[in-house]
């Protein structure tokens, strides 16, 4: 299995620009999670989907952030407009059989975002 | 609401020495508990998890953890540290109640010295 695939691996952009991060979950998994990791705040859950439906987006910082999952094999996290404080590593994770809370989450390699 | 506390943001051990990384949790429902490891410039990967049954859980790379309900703890141990164990370790608790949202601790950076 190829694992969770994220692109790009690195992104450098200027303040005000739109940024789109992409994620392909493991085939057959039906839960998808977006996390943000920074030195100051650690690992934060931004949003998660079950069966392509957003379940909890309480971690999304503000309206500048949006996430979509148009089908079971693809999700995007968009930041528009980007700000320097959005600089972080963004992880996507997927799991099989949501519900019960026992499921292992499989993480992608992350996208390192730098906003100048 | 669930929460996780990891005591010690940095732990240093000698190669061959015991590794002990501490995790205490707070949960209003029977918890599911996880330890994940993150190597430099990589995503997190599961070391082990406790769901039900035996309270001593064995994971990959010789790690194990014991769920102690009375102490609300889930400490991670390894009898003999290896240089390759140097990484950041995260304890996490599931929200339970049918949901699969994880709450992570702040992480412990493990350094292994010769």
Contact check, Cβ <8 Å, A109/B42: yes
pLDDT at B50 exceeding the cut of 80: yes
Residues of B in contact with A45 (CB under 8 A): 101-103
User: Residue A76 and residue A69: Cα distance in Å, rounded?
Assistant: 7
Q: Which range (A109-113, B30-34, B89-93) has the least confidence?
A: B30-34
Task: Find which of B31, B101, B107 to mutate to test the A interface (most A CBs within 10 Å of its CB).
Answer: B101
pLDDT at A19 exceeding the cut of 80: yes
Q: How large a percentage of chain A has pLDDT more than 90?
A: 82
Three-state SS for chain A is CCCCEEECCEEEECCCCCEEEEEECCCCCCEEEEEEEECCCEEEEEEEEECCEEEECCCCCCCCEEEEEEECCEEEEEECCCCHHHCEEEEEEEECCCCCCCCCCEECCCEEEEEC
């Amino acid at each position: 299995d190829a694992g969770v695939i994220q692109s790009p691996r690195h992104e450098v952009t200027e303040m005000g620009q739109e940024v789109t991060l992409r994620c392909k979950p493991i085939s057959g998994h039906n839960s998808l999670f977006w996390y943000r990791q920074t030195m100051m705040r650690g690992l934060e859950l931004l949003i998660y989907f079950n069966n392509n439906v957003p379940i909890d987006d309480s971690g999304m910082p503000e309206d500048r952030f949006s996430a979509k999952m148009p089908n079971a094999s693809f999700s995007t996290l968009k930041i528009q407009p980007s700000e320097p404080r959005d600089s972080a590593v963004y992880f996507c994770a997927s799991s099989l059989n949501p519900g019960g809370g026992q499921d292992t989450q499989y993480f992608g390699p992350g996208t390192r975002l730098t906003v100048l | 609401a669930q929460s996780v506390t990891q005591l010690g943001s940095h732990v240093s051990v000698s190669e061959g020495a015991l590794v002990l990384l501490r995790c205490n949790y707070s949960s209003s429902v029977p918890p599911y508990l996880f330890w994940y490891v993150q190597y430099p410039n990589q995503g997190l990967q599961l070391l082990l998890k406790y769901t039900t049954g035996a309270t001593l859980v064995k994971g990959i790379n010789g790690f194990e953890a014991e769920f102690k309900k009375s102490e609300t703890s889930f400490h991670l141990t390894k009898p003999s540290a290896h240089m390759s164990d140097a990484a950041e370790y995260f304890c996490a608790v599931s929200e339970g109640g049918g949901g699969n949202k994880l709450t992570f601790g702040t992480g412990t950076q493990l350094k292994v010295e010769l």
